[in-house]
Amino acid sequence: MAQTMGVRSIVVSVEGMTCNSCVQTIEQQIGKLNGLHSIKVSLQEKNAAIIYNPKLQTPESLREAIDDMGFNAILADPNP
Amino acid sequence: MPKHEFFVDMTCEGCSNAVTRVLNKLGGVQFDIDLHNKKVSIESEHSVDTLLDTLKKTGKTASYLGEK
């Protein structure tokens, strides 16, 4: 997937989620952003796997978007 | 300072923590979160619109209940 032109994926660590409704709101909110292809949030692993268009989003802008929602987001591995 | 009461659809502690974080980021607010009743009362010089927008950043349903 990462090889495809115009598509990149990252994993962002997200701290502070405690239930499924937190997971859902993040998926809904971040999924609405421009250039987002898909987002999968894991409550157990405390992270969000995001596939996005690097022309429209950067890892930092994605991290900030989650941070803005009130969760502590940290860029984990830039090349999962 | 005026005290405003908002309804925020919080379901767990993670939700109320998120609300706490966004409000602290905004700054200039004193607030109380009542998770059980899904209410947030905020004492602030910020306008109601600013506060409501901030609460909505969490992605939860939020509405203004009125002055307290």
Burial of residue A76, with CB atoms counted within 10 A of its CB: 0-12 exposed, 13-18 middle, 19 or more buried: middle
Helix (H, G, I), strand (E, B) or coil at B46: coil
Q: What is the domain partition of chain B in residue ranges?
A: 3-67
Residues in chain A closer than 8 A to B25 (CB atoms): 68
Q: Min CA distance, A69 vs chain B (Å)?
A: 4
One of 3.30.70.100, 3.40.640.10, 3.40.50.10320, 1.20.1290.10 is the CATH number of B3-67, namely 3.30.70.100
For tokens 């005026």, the residue is B2
Distance between CA B57 and CA A70 in Å, rounded? 8
**Given CA atoms B12, B25, A14, A56 in this order, what sign does their dihedral have?**
positive
The pLDDT, as a whole number, for residue A76 is 73
Give the closest of A22, A28, A68 to B14, CB-based. A22
Q: What is the pLDDT of residues B10-66, one digit of tens each?
A: 988 888 999 999 999 999 999 999 999 999 999 999 999 999 999 999 999 999 999
Nearest to A18 among B14, B58, B59 (CB): B14
Question: What single DSSP character describes residue B34?
Answer: E
| Confidence at A79, pLDDT banded by 50, 70, 90 | low
Query: Model's pTM, two decimal places?
Result: 0.84
